[in-house]
A and B are shown apart, each in its own frame.
Chain A
């Protein structure tokens, strides 16, 4: 590299801009955290005193617990089913070529790009037509539609790191297709499968718009938050929000650690 076009000032400026960007992205998360421990009813500076009263108010609210129970119940089923569906689709794309594959892939990947209000309306109208609206199952069904593409993408990336000959080698050594799946493909894809479980749970955990349309009385926690927002300004939302942030950040961080580690492992194997 020559030193033409280099200036300390620009180098510093660009790095500072990265910091600024992260500041913007994480500011609301940080603010929610700080003000959830603030005693003042209306958030402003200077801060009031340290207080956990908003957490106590939230913890003693049975509605919040109902919402949380629903969210966890929905999230658990959604993550398991989406991961299974997504894995199947990723494996199909990895191994087979067939007529209409591009349509299949579009169905497997497009749903998250449809605006959630439209999905919400379509699901509400359709599910109430077949008597499945207003229940937890309605939320589960809709969330699987938008979550399985994430599971599919994550698993597909992992499978693309695998040598396709490995599976063929297993067949040649006498393994049936099922045995090759059980002993070669699944173990190889395992980190991605767990990553997909966590990511899809995070997506379901944070989704509020479709849930708001279809859930009826079985509201999930984010829908409760939406209800709160329409009602009043209350620091309790900061307490719930901090809880929501911590939960989904934990899920996403675990998933990412799983996925980056798998990449490093593969690279080491490849170098040997």
Chain B
């Protein structure tokens, strides 16, 4: 390892650093400054005024959205983790290596494939005259209103998070020492008990990180609550888009955004310390 700073080393390290400083750190830092600006006659003016914070935090609507968003994201995170676990467990332990590789290959595809259009397509299934109600109609049952409900929003969050959560869970499950599981079986430990007392504790870090990503993704998403949940009641991300696009209330939108970042940081920190708690003994 040579430690000198050379033209060569700077050629490779500097471009990304500069780019992320100028176009990632600065915009986020500017958001902090912006939250103290004032809006007069629909024009923003640089200032140092806590009015935006006071106004937003004084509104019960804001806190309702905050609670709702938190609850939805936590719900989505738990639901996705629970529904994804049997899938990743089965892929990790019940498939041949070749089939496992194929399954991973297939799970990566949707992660990079337009979430927006996939959510739109769910409308085809869930709308009043959609596929599911069409099937119900054929069996003579009454149609169910599914669109614009929390159920539909959850379907959207699942669409967003499920592939990523399966992949993250899978990577931690694949690295579990299999002799541990065999040892448990040899000691006549039941199937479910093995899962809860051997598999899940061994894969804890990966499982928590997966749940954390599901939380982050659904906490910031505005597509599912708008197009599947009907946009009412409002989540924080909807509040941001509305506040930004209607008029010049960007400073207030900045307050919401910063509150969201603070919440995400706190949750991420709590989750990571929970994941590593008691490790390294």
Contacts and interface: CB of A to CB of B under 8 A. Distances in A.
Contact of B162 (A25, A29, A148): A25
Interface residues of B, number: 92
B20 A145 contact: yes
Main secondary structure of the interface of B (DSSP, over half): helix
B240 interface: yes
B91 A241 contact: no
A43 B114 contact: no
A173 interface: no
Nearest to B236: A117
B122 A118 contact: no
Give the interface SS of chain A, mostly helix, strand, loop or mixed. helix
Contact of A202 (B8, B112, B158): B112
B103 interface: yes
Contact of A85 (B9, B16, B116, B135): B16
Given A2-B185, A45-B131, A122 B27 contact: yes
Interface string A220-234: 001001100100010
A96 B9 contact: yes
B191 A5 contact: yes
Nearest to B91: A18
B16 A44 contact: no
B118 to A, nearest CB: 4
Interface of A: 1-2, 4-5, 10-11, 14-15, 17-18, 21-22, 24-29, 31-32, 35, 42-46, 84-89, 91-92, 95-98, 104, 107-108, 110-111, 113-127, 129, 141-142, 144-145, 148, 152, 177-178, 181, 199, 202-203, 206, 208-209, 213, 222, 225-226, 229, 233, 237-238, 240-241, 244-245, 248-249, 251-253, 256, 260
Given A88-B13, A121-B257, 14 more contacts: A5-B191, A18-B94, A27-B121, A32-B121, A42-B129, A45-B135, A88-B15, A88-B16, A111-B20, A118-B220, A144-B19, A177-B8, A181-B8, A245-B117
27 contacts: A2-B185, A18-B87, A21-B166, A25-B162, A28-B124, A28-B159, A29-B121, A46-B134, A88-B12, A88-B14, A89-B13, A97-B3, A111-B24, A115-B217, A117-B237, A120-B244, A121-B244, A125-B30, A125-B31, A148-B16, A181-B8, A206-B116, A209-B223, A229-B227, A233-B123, A249-B109, A253-B109
